[in-house]
Amino acid sequence: MNLQHDVRTVARQFQIYGEFLGAESYGSGHINDTYRAVFDQAGAPARYIIQRINHNIFKAPVAVMDNIRRVTTHLAAKAAGAPDFSRRVLTLVATRDGGYFHRDEQANHWRAYLFIEKARTCDAVESAEQAFKAAQAFGAFQKLLADLPAPRLHDTIPDFHHTPKRFAALEKVIAADAVNRARLARAEIEFALRRKEICRVLLDASLPERVTHNDTKFNNVMLDEATGEGICVIDLDTVMPGLALYDFGDMVRTTTSPAKEDERDLSKVALQLPMFEALARGYLSSAGEFLTPVEKKFLPFAGKLITFEIGLRFLTDFLAGDTYFKVHREGHNLDRCRTQFKLVESIERQETAMDKLVESIK
């Protein structure tokens, strides 16, 4: 396969033993360039993830790596000794000169991780049990990082979940309509503009700042193939100070409807209450002990808000000409926006029931 990057040369910069056998593009992330590389180590194949950080989006890749190094070190210290601990935390592979990332001649920043074997990620949720396990893992992740020693983590993308700023960005691209696409998205633009008032709610609620993941979509947790456990939380570029509710909200967005994020058949997109219940129970089983009553109360609302926010971002990118998220077909970002807004509507219809459900969980 013809890869976009010379992964063999990049891999040579890391302390990886054995002979390079090959590499392929891997995963379905929208941001970084991810490769799975295989080496022959004394007769056994060993796999690694080799990743290029998208520096158009992460403007300070060294700060990203500094956060990731601190977070993985902290988590690894806590997991040490547990059965299978090297599958429970991402392990950065050191570079030949002892660093934890490699900067190439084109100023790309690269990292290598041990490949977590016997686990998988899924783009769409398949069962309530998966929703439970994923949420439990993300809740545990927040809990384990609650005592991360100072200093404060870097803000790798400032205002990442500042919904009013995301809304303002949309208003700006609508006004500019630089690629003449607003005419293709009239209904979605109307949908967004009618909901401006929800954007500020969490910011105005005086919620505690915590160390959060900020990108807790379902395919950012690896599920153990044998037990189904959410064994390892991955994609740590956006781990930074934030609100616990952003994380829960993104879980609602990606695990309560069985459809893929870019599903074109919108009749498949709807929040399923049993999925939401499993998700809330899973999350509260690990995060319940530290959440405040106000945070708990806002769990359903957070699901609606983050789904709306990501919908705004897809719409913004569509109108700007697809400059942020990777796209694989025409209208891809608009399709993604449509699923998000369909889910927002579905949540709006069920919000009272979701509120009651959360209240009933002790």
Q: Which residues bind ligand ADP (CB under 6 A)?
A: 26-27, 29, 31-32, 34, 49, 90, 113, 115-116, 121, 219-220, 234-235
**3 state SS of 66:** helix
Is 29 or 300 the residue whose CB approaches ligand ADP more closely?
29
Q: Concatenated DSSP letters for 154-207?
A: P-SSTTTT-HHHHHHHHHHHHHH-TTS-GGG-HHHHHHHHTTGGGTTTTGGG-P
Which CB atom, from 202 or from 233, has the smaller least distance to Mg ion?
233
List the one residue out of 123, 96, 104 whose CA is nearest residue 259: 123
- Minimum CB distance to ligand GN1 smaller for 192 or for 310: 310
Query: Between 224 and 261, whose beta carbon lies closer to ligand GN1?
Result: 261
Taking the least distance from each CB to Mg ion, the nearer of 188 and 235 is 235
Among Mg ion, ligand GN1, ligand ADP, none, partner that 26 touches (CB below 5 to 8 angstroms by kind): ligand ADP
Q: How far is the CB of 120 from ligand ADP (least distance, A)?
A: 7
Least Cβ distance, residue 264 to ligand GN1 (angstroms): 16
For ligand ADP, the nearest residue by Cβ is: 29
- Residue 261 contacts which entry, Mg ion, ligand ADP, ligand GN1, none (Cβ below 5-8 A, type-dependent): ligand GN1
| Distance separating alpha carbons of residues 13 and 4, to the nearest angstrom | 18
- Residue 20 interacting entry, from ligand ADP, Mg ion, ligand GN1, none, C-beta within 5 to 8 Å by type: none
Nearer to ligand ADP, 255 or 350 (CB): 255
33 or 235: CB nearest Mg ion = 235
For 151, the token pair is: 């200093």
Task: State how far the Cα of 347 lies from the Cα of 353, in Å rounded to an integer.
Answer: 10
Is the separation of the CB atoms in 294 and 240 below 8 Å?
A: no
> Rule CB under 6 A: which residues touch ligand GN1?
29-31, 57, 215, 217, 220, 235, 238, 261, 310
Q: What, of ligand ADP, ligand GN1, Mg ion, none, does residue 34 touch, CB below 5 to 8 Å by kind?
A: ligand ADP
Alpha helix stretches (DSSP H) within the chain: 7-11, 61-79, 128-144, 163-176, 186-193, 244-255, 273-287, 293-297, 299-320, 332-360
Residue nearest to ligand GN1 (CB): 30
Question: Which does residue 113 bind out of ligand GN1, ligand ADP, Mg ion, none, counting CB within 5 to 8 angstroms by kind?
Answer: ligand ADP
ω into residue 293 within 30 of 0, thus cis? no
Q: How far apart are CB 355 and ligand ADP at their closest, in Å?
A: 31
Question: Cβ(231)–Cβ(88) under 8 Å?
Answer: yes
Taking Cα atoms as reference points, which of 355, 221, 341 lies closest to residue 276? Answer: 355
CB of 314 vs ligand GN1, minimal distance in Å: 8
Nearest CA to 280 out of 228, 235, 245, 229 is that of: 245
d(CA 255, CA 251): 6
**In the complex, minimum distance from the CB of residue 169 to ligand GN1, in angstroms, rounded to a whole number:** 13
